[in-house]
A = this chain, B = another copy of it.
Amino acid sequence: MIRVLIADDHNVFVEGIESLLSGTSEIEVTQRCYNVAAVVESLGKVPIDVILLDISFPQIDDGLSLCEQITRLYPQTNVIALTMHDDASLIKRMVKKGAKGYLLKNTTKSELLQAIQTVHAGKQYFNESITHILLNDEPRAKKTMVGAGLKPNLTRRESEVLTLIAQGLTTQQMATQLFVSAKAVEFHRSSLLMKFSVPNTALLVKSAMDMQCID
């Protein structure tokens, strides 16, 4: 019997999860906690195998530090993050804090069961959605692209020139390498400055890197 603790500050959600798991013979919902203090208290009393932990508890940092604490104090207890946050960096942070699995709240019953069993067996569990998020996690993809910057549509030549600029080549060097005149390269250079709305090469390189146009 796998002893499960559900930690979530949304009552309805806790009940829903519990009813999902109630029909399973191998899994037992031992505890339900609606705040951090209750989780800490429960763990001190009752042995728990798997914790389904909502990260926003109520703040993200609360969930992270709680996860870290659980992992350190009760290494035999495995944490599965169960949250609506589909952010790659958050997933990584949770795993760093010791989470063995990560599920989005739109997961299915069978997936939830499989996750609990996998994690309880000492392995990590990440489904396709999570893998997909990690794969598409652009190191520099600023989701907080507040003002300005949408990635401009570059022509083939512009992309070539941009790449060469970022490699430190001068206009003349690029001209030689591309078998065109320096004036042609200069033209594309100007086009790039215009499309990125930047005044010079330095900011062009930075903007292009921020927008993933190079690297």
Contact = CB atoms under 8 A, between A and B. Distances in A.
Contacts of A209: 205-206, 209
Interface stretch (A11-19, A49-57, A133-141): A133-141
Contacts of A200: 168, 170, 201
A123 interface: yes
Interface string A158-185: 0000000111101000000000000000
Helix, strand, loop or mixed for chain A's interface? Answer: helix
Q: How many copies does the complex hold?
A: 2
Interface of A: 89, 91-92, 95, 123-124, 126, 128, 131-132, 134-137, 139-140, 165-168, 170, 198-206, 209-210, 214-215
A199 B167 CA distance: 10
A203 B166 contact: yes
